């Protein structure tokens, strides 16, 4: 684990202390502290560094994007959604705590992300905090993560999923949150508007690539290596890049 | 419907335009625009007026608290939670759109509430916007709405629910969001810290009363009058004030 990932893990550990009501905080910590590569927070920290900002100004955003990412995994894994049993090498949240608690753990994490941004950014100018909150919120909502998931669900088992639709799904399920992480890092780090727009452009270019790599891993690695039920996207007739382009072309695309 | 409720309805209608992906926006609008007394937003507007603030400064908060309230109803009604079929005289969200869409509609509404506060408060000083966001987030999270719901779920069917626990549930499921509405109204309305603390105290005193009245309505009114499945709290062995105190004493308590 990198130095930065360790910093992020410490911040996340501190973000959700174990307190009453115990069950909800246990469930939140279970998924939030289950490992993960912490790609989004690390990109957020890097973006802050790029514009010459201080880590202390941006750690709340780094934590918030990982908290939102975790929330989306918990809800996506629910039986009424993708119905996954395994995530990061462990049983999914609802398998351990029940569907009701898993729904609530996601809700609590989502509001925690915004609370964190509002309360743990002392020293940052409030207009920058408001902008970061706006970036994060639009990445999650009905034109962000949720849009990607609803189109993804509606395309399962259908034959008419083309590359355009697949790109729509991945832009919304993956790229938008990456963009918020990177843009939020630059905003809280004190970047000027030119710098912020430059990192936004950069984030857009890496966002899609990230998902192609992830889709390829899903086909080529075993469940044990990845810690989640692999090959499942193919089994459940979900649209993936390898399925649509063929594995070899997808690997080339990911280049 | 009062003049204020109409203003709130117009703001909510505008907050969720019907756009692609259609299904998620239809689901969000279905529950958000289903009527409701708009008690929380009206209190929010009143609180702003009390400190001499302008309506335009606070409408985003008034909308946000109703959006959060709606989200909590959608998720609480899910089969894995309270399993309700009827709400405000209409089939519940998941009955119409499916459990998956209902989960996502709640998620999208929750993030919309914060986006709204961050983007529709031009003219308000950003430090006040950040404070309002913090109030709202803490009212929803694992020490707010979610805490109330998880303790509520864990107490169903149990014999050891006493008045203390019931008060805990209602303070968290109802009073905290009312408090955020009223405090947020005063904060965005430009109230000084003394005024904000005074309305907070006022909000706390009315929060509990509100729930006692609601519990009594659940026992004494018919489903048709209320537009939700009444008597259900008693049937499902949920702790309510009338059950614990007896209907007559609860009525007295509600004054």
* A131 interfacial to chain B (CB closer than 8 Å): yes
For chain A, what is the radius of gyration of the CA atoms?
A: 18
Residue B7 pLDDT level (bands cut at 50, 70, 90): very high
Please give the structure tokens belonging to residue B137: 């987030």
Q: For chain B, say whether A165 makes contact (Cβ under 8 Å).
A: no
Cβ pair B24, B101 in contact under 8 A: yes
CB B8 within 8 A of CB B38: yes
Q: Is A118 an 8 Å CB contact of chain B?
A: yes
Residues sharing a CB contact under 8 Å with residue A140, sequence separation 6 or more, in sequence order: A68, A72, A110, A146, A177, B107, B108, B111
Provide mean pLDDT across the span B186-206: 93
Domains located in chain B, CATH noted: 3-254 (1.10.600.10)
Query: Which chain A residues are Cβ-neighbours of B180 within 8 angstroms?
Result: none
pLDDT in tens, B203-231: 888 766 666 666 566 556 655 555 665 55
Question: In degrees rounded to 5, what are phi and psi of residue B148?
Answer: -60, -45
Query: How do residues B82-126 score in pLDDT, each as one tens digit?
Result: 999 999 889 999 999 999 999 999 999 999 999 999 999 999 999
State the burial class of residue B204 (Cβ atoms within 10 Å of its Cβ: 0-12, 13-18, 19+): middle
- Which two tokens mark A130? 């408001």
* Rounded Cα–Cα distance for residues B199 and B182 (Å): 7
Burial A178-209 (b: 16+ CB within 10 A, else e): bbbbbbbbbbbbbbeeebbeebbebbeeebbe
Cα separations (Å) of B102 from A35, A118, B119? 29, 27, 25
DSSP secondary structure of A212-228:
HHHHHHHHHS-HHHHTS
User: Which residues face B77 on adjacent strands?
Assistant: none
- Which chain B residues contact residue A147 at CB under 8 A? 21, 24
Q: Is A99 on the interface with B (CB under 8 A)?
A: yes
Cβ pair B114:A137 closer than 8 A:
yes
- What pLDDT band is residue B141 in, cutting at 50, 70 and 90? very high
- Kindly indicate the confidence band of residue B237, based on its pLDDT and cuts at 50, 70 and 90: low
Is the pLDDT score of A37 beyond 60?
Answer: yes
Q: Which residues pair with A86 in a beta bridge?
A: A91
d(CA B17, CA A139): 17
């Amino acid at each position: 684990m990198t130095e930065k990932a360790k910093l992020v893990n410490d911040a996340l550990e501190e973000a959700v202390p174990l307190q009453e009501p115990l069950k909800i905080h246990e469930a939140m910590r279970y998924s939030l502290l289950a490992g993960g590569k912490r790609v989004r927070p690390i990109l957020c920290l890097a973006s802050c560094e790029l514009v010459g900002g201080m880590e202390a100004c941006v750690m709340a955003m780094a934590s918030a994007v990982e908290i939102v990412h975790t929330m989306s995994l918990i809800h996506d894994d629910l039986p009424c959604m993708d119905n996954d049993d395994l995530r990061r090498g462990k049983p999914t949240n609802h398998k351990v705590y029940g569907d009701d608690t898993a729904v609530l753990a996601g809700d609590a994490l989502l509001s925690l992300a915004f609370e964190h941004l509002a309360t743990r950014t002392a020293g940052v100018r409030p207009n920058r905090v408001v902008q970061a909150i706006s970036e994060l919120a639009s990445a999650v909502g009905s034109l962000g993560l949720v849009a990607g998931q609803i189109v993804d669900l509606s395309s399962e088992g259908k034959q008419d999923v083309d590359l355009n639709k697949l790109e729509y799904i991945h832009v919304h399920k993956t790229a938008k949150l990456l963009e918020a992480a990177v843009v939020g890092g630059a905003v809280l780090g004190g970047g000027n508007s030119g710098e912020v727009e430059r990192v936004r452009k950069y984030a857009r270019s890496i966002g899609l690539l990230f998902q192609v790599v992830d889709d390829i891993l899903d086909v080529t690695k075993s469940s044990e290596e990845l810690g989640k039920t692999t090959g499942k996207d193919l089994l459940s007739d979900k649209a993936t890049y390898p399925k649509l382009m063929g594995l070899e072309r997808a690997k080339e695309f990911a280049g």
